[in-house]
Structure 1
Amino acid sequence: MSTLLPFRSCLILPLVLMALNACSTQVELRTAAQQEQFAQEAASQGDWERAMRNYAAAADNAELGRGDFAWQARLHHQAGRAASGACRYDAAEFHFRQAIALAKKTERSSALSYKALIDQYERQGKSTQALAVRNELGFHQAWALGAFADLESLPVGKPCGVPR
């Protein structure tokens, strides 16, 4: 019996595994795009809880599929906005911080996520945390956040703590 057959299978196996990995990556990215659409639909209906879950799942799938960091940052930012609308402040803070970290990796602006995080803290009456986030930015960048004042605000639904 020839040793050539086992040697060939050793060469083919890595190629098969790479092809399977590429397929799973594409599946994850398509799933992320579909979940983003579901999240947008839920957000347009004011269903912030469902929007948050779908944006968070989309962000997870985009990460698994090795989607670009800018897209992942946008998904986390939108998940944070939806979480804020759903009165899930811990989740909102997590997603805004993730968006900021991912935006920094792409050297893109993270100003909207910083603004959203500051706005959320101010809504909650947490002025110390809001000031700490402003200090993370530095004076000039924090001052420039005023330019985003009318561009985007956190969603407003029923006041938090009010039974639905």
Structure 2
Amino acid sequence: MRRRLVSALLLATLAACSTQQELRMAAQQEQFGRAAASQGDWAQAMRSYAAAVDNVELGRGDLAWQARLHHQAGRAASAACRYDAAEFHFRNAIALAKRSTQSSALSYKALIDLYERQGKTAEALAVRNELGWHQSWALGAFADLESLPVGQPCGTPP
């Protein structure tokens, strides 16, 4: 009986160490993502933020942190013209923000902008309807807060 108790305690200690290691790795990957984004290397930023998301999930990290990382990965994916990945990350950011009782307004705004940039007005309208008129109207307050740097449009040769 004593041997089982010691084994269980040892396993719990090892699991806690592993969790902390994954969260430290996530923080480091988030920094790598920020550095890549500041240099305009959006593909690398997207990969770093996505890796950070994976580690926060493995380490059972805070839902608000996961939402923020998904949002940043979505912004980087959008700037890298990876619209499918951007949509995935923005939708996950919205869902996680709601579960953590944090605001999902920036991710909603980014998703609407993503659809509008692609000419997907029906999808943008559906997201606005999901929010409701009052909340959708209020998103205008975030107009310049999260804007991406202006560069060449996607699909334009260098």
Q: TM-score range by the shorter chain?
A: over 0.9
Could you list the runs of 5+ residues in structure 1 that have no partner in the other structure?
Answer: 1-6
- In 1, Cα distance between the equivalents of 2:53 and 2:151? 24
Partner of 1:80: 74
TM-score by length of 1: 0.93
Q: Distance in 2 between matches of 1:21 and 1:163?
A: 49
Q: How does 1:100-111 map to 2 (within 5 A)?
A: 100-111=94-105
Given the alignment of the two structures, is residue 45 of structure 1 paired with residue 66 of structure 2, yes or no?
no
Q: Give the partner amino acid of 2:41.
A: D
Give TM-score, length-normalised by structure 2.
Answer: 0.97
Q: Does 1:11 align with 2:5?
A: yes
| Structure possessing the higher radius of gyration over alpha carbons | 1
User: How many residue pairs get matched?
Assistant: 158
Does the 8 Å CA contact 1:85/1:156 hold for their aligned counterparts? no
Partner of residue 23 from structure 1, selected from 14, 17, 20: 17
Cα distance in 2, alignment partners of residues 159 and 40 from structure 1: 22
DSSP-derived class of the 1:59 partner: helix
1:148 aligns with 2:138: no
Asked whether the 8 Å contact 1:122–1:130 carries over to 2, the reply is: yes
- Aligned-partner Cα distance in 2 for 1:148–1:126: 20
- Calculate percent identity across the aligned residue pairs: 77
CA drift at 1:155: 4.0
Matched, 1:162 2:152: no
Q: What stretches of structure 1 move > 6 A for 4+ residues in a row?
A: none
Gaps of at least 5 residues in structure 2 are none
Q: Note the aligned Cα RMSD (angstroms).
A: 1.0
Residue 115 in structure 1 maps to residue 109 in structure 2: yes
Per-residue CA shift, 1:16-72, capped at 9, x if unaligned? 110010000000000000000000000000000000000000011011111101111
